[in-house]
Amino acid sequence: METYIYSKDNTKLYIRKDIPKDVKANIIINHGFAEHLNRYDYVTEKLNEAKIGVYRYDLRGHGRTESPKGHIDDFMEFAEDADVMVNLASEEHSHLPLFMLGHSMGGFITCLYGLKYPNKLRGQIFSGAAVRRTPQLEGIKGDICNFLSLILPKLKIKNPVSKDICSVAKVVDDYEKDPLVLKEATLKFYVEFLVKGTSWIGKNISKYAYPCLILHGEKDKIVPREASIFLYNNIKSMDKEIKIYDDIYHEILNEEEKDKILLDIINWVYDRLD
């Protein structure tokens, strides 16, 4: 079922619900930068086969959600949108455990959510989570971008990531031809996400306490695996696990080994059901 719901500032979020019969738990998916919810059709299919329901939505600034494309005003708006999805799933299936899965920037959003709303989920799953500044924006470069965003917030910057998303050529080709994939975003967007947002996480990460599964591709050229290692080493969660998959690129859920990784996720979820 696909529809729209209003976020807290009346932004219309485009959402999809796929809930199988005899559902055992639900997962909310936060997709990555430039993506949209349909890129998780296969993930949803496999989760549904395991009797796990899926709530998906196009992030603010993305896909068919009704907001300026490739732009956000404040990184925390992402966490508020995610909370609308959590509230929806909780209202519709109040008796079921609820988890959250975030890939790349979606992992950043998942971490934001975990810090701001510590008691609303059973656990979280991270895939190549962008929870630290990328090497290109460390130090003075990030500060310069921050300053420029005050002067030229709507300056458009091309999407730089397509070639390195996955080792599977067809995935890259489909991504580049996909009309719903963002081809550019504003400087303000990049700064809110990669400078201000990651700095906020860095200052607050020690408060994070959810049960979590942290996954990363060893050959990720977009978000270095050190971001996941940083996450694992700095949270206070008693129940935490990290897996770094050899010879895999950024989009671990689109690699040839995706079925094994999805099974790892499913098993982790099932181990945390009542």
The domain spanning residue 88 has which CATH number? 3.40.50.1820
How deeply is 61 buried, as exposed, middle or buried, from its count of CB atoms within 10 A (0-12, 13-18, 19+)?
Answer: buried
> Please, which pLDDT band fits residue 61 given cuts at 50, 70 and 90?
very high
pLDDT greater than 90 at residue 38: yes
User: What is the per-residue pLDDT for 225?
Assistant: 96
More confident residue, 13 or 146: 13
pLDDT greater than 50 at residue 17: yes
**Averaged pLDDT, 25-32:** 98
Average pLDDT over the chain, rounded to an integer: 92
Closest by CA position to 31, among listed 251, 258, 265, 260 = 251
Q: How far apart are the first and last CA of the chain?
A: 28
Instruction: List the Cα angle 185/187/191 in 5-degree steps.
Output: 110
Residue with tokens 């050529």: 169
**Full residue range of the structural domain in which residue 127 is found:** 2-270
3-state SS, 64-118, equals CCECCCCCCCCCHHHHHHHHHHHHHHHHHCCCCCEEEEEECHHHHHHHHHHHHCC
pTM (2 decimals)?
0.94
| Rounded Cα–Cα distance for residues 193 and 199 (Å) | 9
CA distances from 83 to 22, 29, 58, 231 (A): 25, 12, 14, 21
Percent of the chain with pLDDT over 70: 91
Tokens of 64: 């068919």
> Please, which pLDDT band fits residue 51 given cuts at 50, 70 and 90?
very high
**Averaged pLDDT, 101-125:** 98
Plot region of 41 (φ>0 → left; ψ -120 to 50 → alpha; else → beta): alpha
**Averaged pLDDT, 163-175:** 94
pLDDT greater than 70 at residue 266: yes
> Please, which pLDDT band fits residue 140 given cuts at 50, 70 and 90?
very low
| Rounded Cα–Cα distance for residues 207 and 72 (Å) | 26
Which phi and psi (to 5°) does residue 259 adopt? -65, -40
User: What is the per-residue pLDDT for 156?
Assistant: 76
Tally of CA atoms within 13 A in the half-sphere of 241 that contains its CB = 13
| Rounded Cα–Cα distance for residues 218 and 250 (Å) | 8
Closest by CA position to 192, among listed 75, 37, 53 = 75
More confident residue, 156 or 217: 217
**Averaged pLDDT, 36-51:** 98
> Please, which pLDDT band fits residue 136 given cuts at 50, 70 and 90?
low
User: What is the per-residue pLDDT for 158?
Assistant: 78
How many other C-beta atoms lie within 10 A of the C-beta of residue 167? 18
pLDDT greater than 90 at residue 157: no
**Averaged pLDDT, 122-132:** 97
Per the DSSP assignment, residues forming a β-bridge with 106 are none
How deeply is 88 buried, as exposed, middle or buried, from its count of CB atoms within 10 A (0-12, 13-18, 19+)?
Answer: middle
User: What is the per-residue pLDDT for 142?
Assistant: 44
Number of structural domains the chain divides into:
1
| Rounded Cα–Cα distance for residues 205 and 135 (Å) | 19
Q: What is the pLDDT of residues 178-211, one digit of tens each?
A: 999 999 999 889 889 998 999 999 999 999 999 9
DSSP secondary structure code for residue 168 in this structure: -
| Rounded Cα–Cα distance for residues 78 and 109 (Å) | 6
